[in-house]
Amino acid sequence: MSELVASDFEDGVLHVTLLRHEKRNALSNALIAAIETTLTKWSERDDVSVVVLTGGGDKAFASGGDLKELESLRGEADAVAFAARTRAALDTIRCFPVPVVAVLHGDALGGGAELAMACDLRIAMAHARIGFLQAKLNIATAWGGGTDLFNIVGPSRALRLLATAEVLNAADAQRLGLVDAVAPEGTEAAGFVKSYVTQMVQPPQVMRAIKSLATMHRFGGPAEERAVREGACFAKAWVHDDHWAAVAKMAGSRK
């Protein structure tokens, strides 16, 4: 475990928390590496059903890249290498074997928005905001967040959001599909997150099968390959004792 990231596991749910709240969870190289290391380690476990990714504190999920570090990137080759390295780190979220839920306790801006978009689902507190501010720095997205945005809201809306660098409140973000659920004003955060996540916690092999479908849709690939992978995930869940227990329970209820 890194001092920049905390992880806690209970009842099939892995909670991963960014611990750089004094810097509004700005995504330094060290923090990005810590996220990648933590998720890579936990991806080897077969008892995780859902991951919840949260920014420490209540002001920011992640406020973007660490600008002091980024000032040192002056050459094009260095910028290309940095973008590739960071995108690879966020791909550990996109390709994590079970769904990852981002909890926006506060703002997700710039690179922080890209981190949120790398997750499978996003839920937000009423005061949270999300925005792609890259255009204000005369740059574009670099870590896969732009591609994610186009996939989720469609090309026209994504283009406008990127070009205007508009910051959306939680309600507007939900209307566009950037956020999947928003806590009512005054709602206690921990209870809201637990209620949302509990509804979707199924046995790990089921969640792995579901996430496999999401990953195939996200990254594409030949139709034959997608069919084979879907069938393999189905078969693994079918022969599991959890499946037969559910079948017996359903049969008993019908009787």
Rounded Cα gap, residues 114 and 147, in angstroms: 9
CATH of the domain at 151: 3.90.226.10
Q: Are residues 170 and 233 in the same domain?
A: no
Q: Measured on CA atoms in the order 198, 152, 88, 125, is the torsion positive or negative?
A: negative
Q: Give yes or no for residue 193 having a pLDDT over 50.
A: yes
Q: Are residues 132 and 152 in the same domain?
A: yes
Rounded Cα gap, residues 170 and 173, in angstroms: 5
Task: Tell me which of 198, 221, 237 is where a domain ends.
Answer: 198
Which whole number is the average pLDDT over 212-233?
Answer: 77
Which whole number is the average pLDDT over 24-28?
Answer: 93
The pLDDT of residue 230: 63
Q: Measured on CA atoms in the order 34, 36, 39, 41, is the torsion positive or negative?
A: negative
The pLDDT of residue 99: 98
Q: What is the pLDDT of residues 114-160, one digit of tens each?
A: 999 999 999 999 999 999 999 998 889 999 999 999 999 999 999 99
The pLDDT of residue 227: 67
Q: Are residues 132 and 162 in the same domain?
A: yes
The pLDDT of residue 64: 84
**Residue 55 near residue 61 (C-beta atoms within 8 A):** yes
Rounded Cα gap, residues 124 and 103, in angstroms: 6
Number of domains into which the chain is organized: 2
Q: Are residues 61 and 83 in the same domain?
A: yes
Q: Are residues 32 and 92 in the same domain?
A: yes
**Residue 27 near residue 66 (C-beta atoms within 8 A):** yes
Q: Are residues 118 and 19 in the same domain?
A: yes
Q: Give yes or no for residue 2 having a pLDDT over 60.
A: no
Which whole number is the average pLDDT over 165-176?
Answer: 98
Task: Tell me which of 158, 179, 198 is where a domain ends.
Answer: 198
Rounded Cα gap, residues 117 and 152, in angstroms: 9
Q: Are residues 135 and 236 in the same domain?
A: no
Q: Give yes or no for residue 224 having a pLDDT over 80.
A: no
Q: Give yes or no for residue 1 having a pLDDT over 60.
A: no
Which whole number is the average pLDDT over 1-22?
Answer: 91
Q: Are residues 82 and 133 in the same domain?
A: yes
pLDDT band at 248 (very low <50, low <70, confident <90, very high): confident
Structure-block tokens of residue 254: 């019908």
The pLDDT of residue 226: 62
Task: Tell me which of 151, 180, 198 is where a domain ends.
Answer: 198
pLDDT band at 108 (very low <50, low <70, confident <90, very high): very high
**Residue 192 near residue 170 (C-beta atoms within 8 A):** no
**Residue 6 near residue 17 (C-beta atoms within 8 A):** yes
Q: Are residues 224 and 190 in the same domain?
A: no
> Which helix H or strand E contains 82, and what residues bound it?
helix 76-94
The pLDDT of residue 62: 96
Among 21-30, 177-186, 216-225, name the one with the lowest average pLDDT.
216-225
Which residue range(s) make up the domain with 233?
A: 204-254
Bridge partner residues of 107 (DSSP)? 60
Q: Are residues 192 and 216 in the same domain?
A: no
Q: What is the pLDDT of residues 172-186, one digit of tens each?
A: 999 999 999 999 999
Q: Give yes or no for residue 252 having a pLDDT over 70.
A: yes
Q: Are residues 191 and 214 in the same domain?
A: no
Bridge partner residues of 98 (DSSP)? none
Q: Are residues 219 and 182 in the same domain?
A: no
